Amino acid sequence: MTDWTPTRDAGLAQLEAFLPRAGRQYRDRRNHDFGPEDRSNVSALSPWLAHRLVHEREVISAALAEHGPEGAEKFVQEVVWRGYFRGWLEQRPGVWHQYVDARERALMALDKDKAMRADWEAAVEGRTGIEGFDDWAQELAAHGWLHNHARMWFASIWIFTLRLPWSLGADFFLRHLMDGDAASNTLSWRWVGGLHTKGKTYLARRDNIRKYTGGRFDPEGLSDEDPIPEAAETPDPTPLPQADAEPAEALWLLTEDDLSPAPEGPVAALDGPTARSPLELGAHAAAFTRGALDDAAGRLDAARVSSVEEIVQAARDAGQDTIALRRPLAGPVADRLEGLRAAAEGAGLALHLTRDPYDAAVWPHCRKGFFAVKKQIPRLVDELEL
Protein backbone atom coordinates (compact mmCIF):
# COMPACT_ATOMS: atom_id res chain seq x y z
CA MET A 1 0.00 0.00 0.00
CA THR A 2 1.21 3.51 -0.80
CA ASP A 3 2.06 5.69 2.19
CA TRP A 4 0.38 9.00 1.30
CA THR A 5 1.93 11.02 4.14
CA PRO A 6 1.93 14.67 3.00
CA THR A 7 5.54 15.49 3.78
CA ARG A 8 8.58 16.06 1.60
CA ASP A 9 10.38 13.21 3.36
CA ALA A 10 7.57 10.76 2.57
CA GLY A 11 7.56 11.93 -1.08
CA LEU A 12 11.32 11.41 -1.35
CA ALA A 13 10.98 7.95 0.21
CA GLN A 14 8.25 7.13 -2.34
CA LEU A 15 10.59 8.27 -5.14
CA GLU A 16 13.47 6.20 -3.82
CA ALA A 17 11.32 3.08 -3.49
CA PHE A 18 9.95 3.47 -7.03
CA LEU A 19 13.22 4.37 -8.81
CA PRO A 20 14.36 0.80 -9.63
CA ARG A 21 11.05 0.32 -11.50
CA ALA A 22 11.12 3.70 -13.36
CA GLY A 23 12.85 2.28 -16.46
CA ARG A 24 11.61 -0.34 -18.91
CA GLN A 25 9.37 -1.91 -16.27
CA TYR A 26 7.42 1.35 -16.07
CA ARG A 27 7.30 1.66 -19.86
CA ASP A 28 5.83 -1.83 -20.25
CA ARG A 29 3.49 -2.02 -17.27
CA ARG A 30 2.33 1.50 -16.44
CA ASN A 31 -1.08 1.13 -18.15
CA HIS A 32 -2.25 -1.69 -15.87
CA ASP A 33 -4.54 -0.80 -13.00
CA PHE A 34 -3.97 -3.50 -10.37
CA GLY A 35 -6.27 -1.77 -7.84
CA PRO A 36 -5.65 0.37 -4.75
CA GLU A 37 -3.64 -2.32 -2.94
CA ASP A 38 -0.93 -2.47 -5.61
CA ARG A 39 0.50 0.67 -7.20
CA SER A 40 3.95 -0.82 -7.78
CA ASN A 41 3.87 -0.31 -11.59
CA VAL A 42 3.49 3.49 -11.36
CA SER A 43 5.23 6.06 -9.19
CA ALA A 44 2.13 7.34 -7.30
CA LEU A 45 4.14 10.55 -6.85
CA SER A 46 1.44 12.89 -8.16
CA PRO A 47 0.18 14.29 -4.81
CA TRP A 48 3.72 15.40 -3.87
CA LEU A 49 4.45 16.71 -7.37
CA ALA A 50 1.15 18.60 -7.65
CA HIS A 51 2.04 20.65 -4.56
CA ARG A 52 5.74 20.60 -5.41
CA LEU A 53 6.75 19.06 -2.10
CA VAL A 54 8.90 17.10 -4.51
CA HIS A 55 9.94 18.91 -7.70
CA GLU A 56 9.73 17.50 -11.24
CA ARG A 57 13.41 18.28 -11.74
CA GLU A 58 14.38 16.07 -8.78
CA VAL A 59 12.28 13.20 -10.10
CA ILE A 60 13.61 13.51 -13.67
CA SER A 61 17.23 13.79 -12.47
CA ALA A 62 16.87 10.72 -10.25
CA ALA A 63 15.26 8.65 -13.05
CA LEU A 64 17.99 9.66 -15.53
CA ALA A 65 20.74 8.84 -13.03
CA GLU A 66 19.23 5.40 -12.37
CA HIS A 67 18.27 4.34 -15.90
CA GLY A 68 19.96 6.70 -18.38
CA PRO A 69 18.16 8.69 -21.09
CA GLU A 70 16.90 5.66 -23.00
CA GLY A 71 15.79 3.57 -20.06
CA ALA A 72 14.03 6.48 -18.36
CA GLU A 73 12.60 7.95 -21.58
CA LYS A 74 8.93 7.02 -21.05
CA PHE A 75 8.86 7.97 -17.37
CA VAL A 76 10.53 11.34 -18.03
CA GLN A 77 8.03 12.08 -20.79
CA GLU A 78 5.15 11.38 -18.41
CA VAL A 79 6.61 13.70 -15.77
CA VAL A 80 6.85 16.43 -18.42
CA TRP A 81 3.09 16.10 -19.13
CA ARG A 82 2.35 18.01 -15.91
CA GLY A 83 4.49 20.94 -17.07
CA TYR A 84 2.96 20.72 -20.55
CA PHE A 85 -0.58 21.12 -19.18
CA ARG A 86 0.47 23.91 -16.81
CA GLY A 87 2.31 25.77 -19.56
CA TRP A 88 -0.60 25.34 -21.99
CA LEU A 89 -3.10 26.72 -19.46
CA GLU A 90 -0.82 29.60 -18.45
CA GLN A 91 -0.97 30.70 -22.08
CA ARG A 92 -4.75 30.29 -22.26
CA PRO A 93 -5.94 31.15 -18.73
CA GLY A 94 -9.38 31.90 -20.22
CA VAL A 95 -9.89 28.13 -20.54
CA TRP A 96 -9.87 27.84 -16.73
CA HIS A 97 -12.54 30.56 -16.52
CA GLN A 98 -14.56 28.87 -19.28
CA TYR A 99 -14.48 25.71 -17.13
CA VAL A 100 -15.57 27.63 -14.01
CA ASP A 101 -18.47 29.19 -15.96
CA ALA A 102 -19.50 25.84 -17.47
CA ARG A 103 -19.43 24.27 -13.99
CA GLU A 104 -21.59 27.09 -12.54
CA ARG A 105 -24.16 26.60 -15.29
CA ALA A 106 -24.13 22.82 -14.84
CA LEU A 107 -24.55 23.13 -11.06
CA MET A 108 -27.51 25.46 -11.61
CA ALA A 109 -29.00 23.00 -14.10
CA LEU A 110 -28.89 20.32 -11.39
CA ASP A 111 -31.33 22.43 -9.36
CA LYS A 112 -33.86 22.49 -12.19
CA ASP A 113 -33.44 19.12 -13.86
CA LYS A 114 -34.40 16.34 -11.43
CA ALA A 115 -33.46 13.51 -13.81
CA MET A 116 -30.01 14.99 -14.37
CA ARG A 117 -29.53 15.44 -10.62
CA ALA A 118 -30.44 11.80 -10.02
CA ASP A 119 -27.95 10.67 -12.71
CA TRP A 120 -25.19 12.92 -11.29
CA GLU A 121 -25.81 11.68 -7.73
CA ALA A 122 -25.71 8.06 -8.90
CA ALA A 123 -22.42 8.76 -10.74
CA VAL A 124 -20.60 10.44 -7.87
CA GLU A 125 -21.87 7.90 -5.33
CA GLY A 126 -20.97 4.94 -7.57
CA ARG A 127 -24.55 3.67 -8.06
CA THR A 128 -24.96 3.68 -11.86
CA GLY A 129 -24.77 -0.11 -12.20
CA ILE A 130 -21.77 0.22 -14.57
CA GLU A 131 -19.06 -2.20 -13.49
CA GLY A 132 -15.74 -0.49 -12.89
CA PHE A 133 -17.18 3.02 -13.09
CA ASP A 134 -19.00 2.60 -9.77
CA ASP A 135 -15.89 1.07 -8.20
CA TRP A 136 -13.70 4.00 -9.35
CA ALA A 137 -16.20 6.57 -8.02
CA GLN A 138 -16.06 4.87 -4.63
CA GLU A 139 -12.30 4.36 -4.79
CA LEU A 140 -11.78 8.06 -5.50
CA ALA A 141 -13.83 9.11 -2.47
CA ALA A 142 -12.22 6.44 -0.26
CA HIS A 143 -8.57 6.98 -1.29
CA GLY A 144 -8.32 10.42 -2.96
CA TRP A 145 -6.45 8.92 -5.91
CA LEU A 146 -7.03 6.89 -9.11
CA HIS A 147 -4.72 5.26 -11.65
CA ASN A 148 -4.35 7.26 -14.89
CA HIS A 149 -6.12 4.64 -17.00
CA ALA A 150 -9.06 4.53 -14.55
CA ARG A 151 -9.26 8.35 -14.80
CA MET A 152 -9.46 8.07 -18.59
CA TRP A 153 -12.12 5.32 -18.55
CA PHE A 154 -14.13 7.11 -15.87
CA ALA A 155 -14.11 10.46 -17.71
CA SER A 156 -15.03 8.79 -20.99
CA ILE A 157 -17.96 6.86 -19.49
CA TRP A 158 -19.11 10.01 -17.68
CA ILE A 159 -19.15 12.04 -20.91
CA PHE A 160 -20.17 9.53 -23.59
CA THR A 161 -22.20 6.82 -21.81
CA LEU A 162 -23.84 8.77 -18.99
CA ARG A 163 -23.92 11.99 -21.09
CA LEU A 164 -23.33 14.13 -18.02
CA PRO A 165 -21.68 17.59 -18.35
CA TRP A 166 -17.89 17.12 -18.47
CA SER A 167 -17.41 20.11 -16.13
CA LEU A 168 -19.24 18.27 -13.33
CA GLY A 169 -16.98 15.26 -13.79
CA ALA A 170 -13.90 17.49 -13.69
CA ASP A 171 -15.33 19.07 -10.53
CA PHE A 172 -15.81 15.66 -8.90
CA PHE A 173 -12.15 14.79 -9.63
CA LEU A 174 -10.76 18.17 -8.58
CA ARG A 175 -12.60 18.01 -5.24
CA HIS A 176 -11.42 14.50 -4.38
CA LEU A 177 -7.94 14.05 -5.88
CA MET A 178 -5.01 14.55 -3.51
CA ASP A 179 -3.12 15.58 -6.65
CA GLY A 180 -5.96 17.90 -7.81
CA ASP A 181 -4.26 20.20 -10.31
CA ALA A 182 -6.34 22.73 -12.24
CA ALA A 183 -4.31 22.34 -15.44
CA SER A 184 -3.85 18.53 -15.58
CA ASN A 185 -7.44 17.93 -14.53
CA THR A 186 -9.28 20.48 -16.67
CA LEU A 187 -7.22 19.75 -19.76
CA SER A 188 -7.36 15.96 -19.35
CA TRP A 189 -11.16 16.09 -19.11
CA ARG A 190 -11.20 18.32 -22.19
CA TRP A 191 -8.85 15.89 -23.94
CA VAL A 192 -11.14 12.90 -23.24
CA GLY A 193 -14.14 14.90 -24.48
CA GLY A 194 -12.43 15.92 -27.74
CA LEU A 195 -12.01 19.59 -26.79
CA HIS A 196 -8.22 19.67 -26.35
CA THR A 197 -6.94 17.98 -29.50
CA LYS A 198 -9.59 19.16 -31.91
CA GLY A 199 -11.90 16.32 -32.94
CA LYS A 200 -9.91 13.61 -31.10
CA THR A 201 -11.87 11.97 -28.28
CA TYR A 202 -11.02 9.08 -25.95
CA LEU A 203 -13.69 6.39 -26.05
CA ALA A 204 -13.44 3.77 -23.25
CA ARG A 205 -13.81 0.21 -24.56
CA ARG A 206 -14.89 -2.88 -22.65
CA ASP A 207 -12.05 -5.12 -23.88
CA ASN A 208 -9.43 -2.50 -23.01
CA ILE A 209 -10.84 -2.17 -19.46
CA ARG A 210 -10.97 -5.96 -19.06
CA LYS A 211 -7.37 -6.32 -20.26
CA TYR A 212 -5.79 -3.56 -18.19
CA THR A 213 -7.68 -4.35 -14.98
CA GLY A 214 -6.64 -8.01 -15.21
CA GLY A 215 -10.28 -9.00 -15.67
CA ARG A 216 -11.45 -7.29 -12.46
CA PHE A 217 -13.95 -5.24 -14.50
CA ASP A 218 -15.86 -6.15 -17.65
CA PRO A 219 -18.49 -3.41 -18.06
CA GLU A 220 -21.42 -3.86 -20.41
CA GLY A 221 -23.38 -1.17 -22.21
CA LEU A 222 -20.65 1.37 -22.84
CA SER A 223 -21.38 3.89 -25.57
CA ASP A 224 -19.66 3.35 -28.89
CA GLU A 225 -20.51 6.88 -29.95
CA ASP A 226 -18.50 9.90 -28.91
CA PRO A 227 -20.28 13.14 -29.76
CA ILE A 228 -18.10 16.08 -28.70
CA PRO A 229 -19.83 18.17 -26.01
CA GLU A 230 -20.71 21.76 -26.83
CA ALA A 231 -18.18 24.19 -25.45
CA ALA A 232 -16.96 27.75 -25.85
CA GLU A 233 -14.35 28.31 -28.57
CA THR A 234 -10.79 27.59 -27.36
CA PRO A 235 -8.89 30.90 -27.27
CA ASP A 236 -5.59 31.31 -29.11
CA PRO A 237 -2.49 31.27 -26.89
CA THR A 238 -1.38 34.59 -25.42
CA PRO A 239 2.27 35.33 -24.55
CA LEU A 240 3.33 34.11 -21.12
CA PRO A 241 3.09 36.91 -18.57
CA GLN A 242 6.50 38.40 -17.87
CA ALA A 243 8.14 36.91 -14.77
CA ASP A 244 9.73 39.23 -12.19
CA ALA A 245 13.27 38.77 -10.92
CA GLU A 246 13.75 37.08 -7.55
CA PRO A 247 14.35 39.97 -5.13
CA ALA A 248 17.35 39.98 -2.79
CA GLU A 249 15.06 40.65 0.15
CA ALA A 250 11.35 40.08 0.50
CA LEU A 251 8.62 38.36 2.40
CA TRP A 252 8.24 35.10 0.45
CA LEU A 253 4.73 33.73 0.13
CA LEU A 254 4.26 29.98 -0.32
CA THR A 255 1.03 28.61 -1.73
CA GLU A 256 -0.30 25.07 -2.11
CA ASP A 257 0.44 25.28 -5.89
CA ASP A 258 4.19 25.34 -5.33
CA LEU A 259 5.79 24.59 -1.98
CA SER A 260 9.31 24.26 -3.43
CA PRO A 261 10.84 27.74 -2.81
CA ALA A 262 13.13 27.68 0.22
CA PRO A 263 14.29 31.30 0.66
CA GLU A 264 16.59 32.41 3.44
CA GLY A 265 14.51 35.38 4.63
CA PRO A 266 11.04 35.64 6.16
CA VAL A 267 8.33 33.37 4.78
CA ALA A 268 4.54 33.26 5.02
CA ALA A 269 2.35 30.38 3.89
CA LEU A 270 -1.14 30.90 2.53
CA ASP A 271 -3.46 28.73 4.58
CA GLY A 272 -5.28 25.98 2.77
CA PRO A 273 -6.88 24.04 1.41
CA THR A 274 -8.17 26.66 -1.00
CA ALA A 275 -11.74 25.96 -2.15
CA ARG A 276 -11.62 24.20 -5.51
CA SER A 277 -15.37 24.29 -6.09
CA PRO A 278 -18.58 25.61 -4.53
CA LEU A 279 -19.05 21.98 -3.37
CA GLU A 280 -17.20 20.42 -0.47
CA LEU A 281 -13.60 19.28 -0.87
CA GLY A 282 -13.00 15.54 -0.35
CA ALA A 283 -11.48 14.50 2.98
CA HIS A 284 -8.25 13.07 1.48
CA ALA A 285 -7.66 16.05 -0.81
CA ALA A 286 -8.21 18.46 2.10
CA ALA A 287 -5.97 16.50 4.47
CA PHE A 288 -3.13 16.14 1.96
CA THR A 289 -3.11 19.85 1.14
CA ARG A 290 -3.28 20.84 4.79
CA GLY A 291 -0.47 18.44 5.67
CA ALA A 292 1.69 19.59 2.75
CA LEU A 293 1.32 23.22 3.85
CA ASP A 294 2.11 22.32 7.46
CA ASP A 295 5.21 20.44 6.36
CA ALA A 296 6.60 23.25 4.17
CA ALA A 297 5.62 26.00 6.64
CA GLY A 298 7.17 24.05 9.52
CA ARG A 299 10.50 23.57 7.72
CA LEU A 300 10.74 27.31 6.91
CA ASP A 301 9.21 28.59 10.14
CA ALA A 302 6.61 30.43 8.06
CA ALA A 303 3.91 32.74 9.40
CA ARG A 304 0.41 31.57 8.46
CA VAL A 305 -1.82 33.96 6.51
CA SER A 306 -5.26 33.49 5.05
CA SER A 307 -6.12 36.67 3.12
CA VAL A 308 -4.43 39.34 0.99
CA GLU A 309 -4.74 41.74 3.94
CA GLU A 310 -2.89 39.30 6.19
CA ILE A 311 -0.17 38.84 3.54
CA VAL A 312 0.41 42.60 3.43
CA GLN A 313 0.43 42.73 7.24
CA ALA A 314 2.93 39.84 7.41
CA ALA A 315 5.29 41.77 5.09
CA ARG A 316 5.03 44.82 7.35
CA ASP A 317 5.56 42.73 10.48
CA ALA A 318 8.69 41.25 8.89
CA GLY A 319 9.96 44.75 8.00
CA GLN A 320 9.90 44.01 4.24
CA ASP A 321 8.82 46.35 1.46
CA THR A 322 8.56 43.57 -1.14
CA ILE A 323 6.37 40.48 -1.36
CA ALA A 324 7.63 37.68 -3.60
CA LEU A 325 5.92 34.50 -4.74
CA ARG A 326 5.73 32.14 -7.66
CA ARG A 327 3.13 33.64 -10.01
CA PRO A 328 -0.06 31.77 -9.04
CA LEU A 329 -1.14 29.28 -11.72
CA ALA A 330 -4.49 29.70 -13.46
CA GLY A 331 -6.81 28.00 -11.00
CA PRO A 332 -8.29 28.37 -7.52
CA VAL A 333 -5.23 29.93 -5.79
CA ALA A 334 -4.86 32.62 -8.50
CA ASP A 335 -8.58 33.38 -8.19
CA ARG A 336 -8.17 33.69 -4.41
CA LEU A 337 -5.17 36.05 -4.73
CA GLU A 338 -6.75 38.27 -7.37
CA GLY A 339 -6.71 41.32 -5.08
CA LEU A 340 -3.08 40.91 -3.96
CA ARG A 341 -1.48 43.41 -6.36
CA ALA A 342 -3.94 46.16 -5.47
CA ALA A 343 -3.56 45.44 -1.74
CA ALA A 344 0.26 45.43 -1.94
CA GLU A 345 0.44 48.61 -4.03
CA GLY A 346 -2.13 50.28 -1.78
CA ALA A 347 0.22 49.61 1.14
CA GLY A 348 3.26 50.89 -0.80
CA LEU A 349 4.77 47.42 -1.20
CA ALA A 350 6.32 45.93 -4.34
CA LEU A 351 5.03 42.61 -5.63
CA HIS A 352 7.40 40.23 -7.46
CA LEU A 353 5.70 37.37 -9.31
CA THR A 354 8.54 34.99 -10.13
CA ARG A 355 8.79 31.83 -12.22
CA ASP A 356 10.52 28.57 -11.38
CA PRO A 357 13.44 27.96 -13.80
CA TYR A 358 12.01 24.55 -14.83
CA ASP A 359 8.67 26.14 -15.73
CA ALA A 360 10.45 29.00 -17.53
CA ALA A 361 12.29 26.44 -19.69
CA VAL A 362 9.34 24.11 -20.37
CA TRP A 363 6.33 26.40 -20.77
CA PRO A 364 7.33 28.28 -23.95
CA HIS A 365 7.06 24.91 -25.81
CA CYS A 366 3.52 24.27 -24.59
CA ARG A 367 1.50 26.33 -27.01
CA LYS A 368 0.01 23.46 -29.06
CA GLY A 369 0.27 19.69 -28.71
CA PHE A 370 2.54 17.66 -26.40
CA PHE A 371 4.73 16.59 -29.33
CA ALA A 372 6.43 20.02 -29.50
CA VAL A 373 7.64 19.80 -25.89
CA LYS A 374 8.46 16.07 -26.12
CA LYS A 375 10.88 16.88 -28.98
CA GLN A 376 12.64 19.36 -26.71
CA ILE A 377 13.21 16.99 -23.77
CA PRO A 378 16.87 16.12 -24.54
CA ARG A 379 17.68 19.82 -24.93
CA LEU A 380 15.78 20.73 -21.75
CA VAL A 381 17.65 18.02 -19.84
CA ASP A 382 20.95 19.66 -20.89
CA GLU A 383 19.80 23.22 -20.35
CA LEU A 384 18.43 22.50 -16.86
CA GLU A 385 21.37 20.21 -16.03
CA LEU A 386 19.05 17.38 -15.08
Least Cβ distance, residue 13 to ligand FAD (angstroms): 15
| CA–CA gap between residue 284 and residue 329 (Å, rounded) | 22
Beta carbon of residue 299, minimum distance to ligand FAD (angstroms, whole number): 22
Annotated binding residue 78:
yes
Max Cα–Cα distance, the chain, nearest Å: 64
State yes or no: 181 annotated in a binding site: yes
Q: Which of 15, 19, 44, 254 binds ligand FAD (CB under 6 A)?
A: 44
* Interacting positions 20-39 with ligand FAD (CB under 6 A): 30
Q: Please answer whether residues 8 and 53 qualify as being in contact, where contact means their C-beta atoms are separated by less than 8 angstroms.
A: yes
Write the CA distances from 30 to 21, 39, 132, 179, 379, integer angstroms: 10, 9, 19, 18, 25
Least separation in angstroms between CB 252 and ligand FAD? 24
Distance (Å, whole) CA 262 – CA 302: 11
Q: Which of 67, 103, 151, 336 binds ligand FAD (CB under 6 A)?
A: 151
* Strand partners of residue 326: 354
The answer to whether 152 contacts ligand FAD (rule: CB under 6 A) is yes
Task: For ligand FAD, give the closer residue by CB, 84 or 252.
Answer: 84
Q: Binding ligand FAD by CB under 6 A: which of 166, 173, 212, 217?
A: 173
Should residue 41 be labelled a site residue for ligand FAD when binding is judged by CB under 6 A?
A: no
The residues, any chain, with a CB within 8 Å of residue 83's CB and separated by 6 or more, are: 56, 358, 359, 362, 363, 366, 373
When binding is defined by CB under 6 A, the residue of 185, 274, 289, 322 that contacts ligand FAD is 185
Q: Is 157 in the site for ligand FAD (CB under 6 A)?
A: no
Can you tell me which of 11, 19, 85, 274 binds ligand FAD, judged by CB under 6 A? 85
Find the shortest distance in angstroms from Cβ 18 to ligand FAD.
7
C-alpha dist (Å) from residue 188 to 88, 136, 297, 361: 12, 17, 31, 22
Choice from 33, 181, 257, 359 touching ligand FAD (CB under 6 A): 181
Residue 348 counted as an annotated binding residue? no
Q: Write phi, then psi, for 322 (nearest 5 degrees).
A: -135, 140
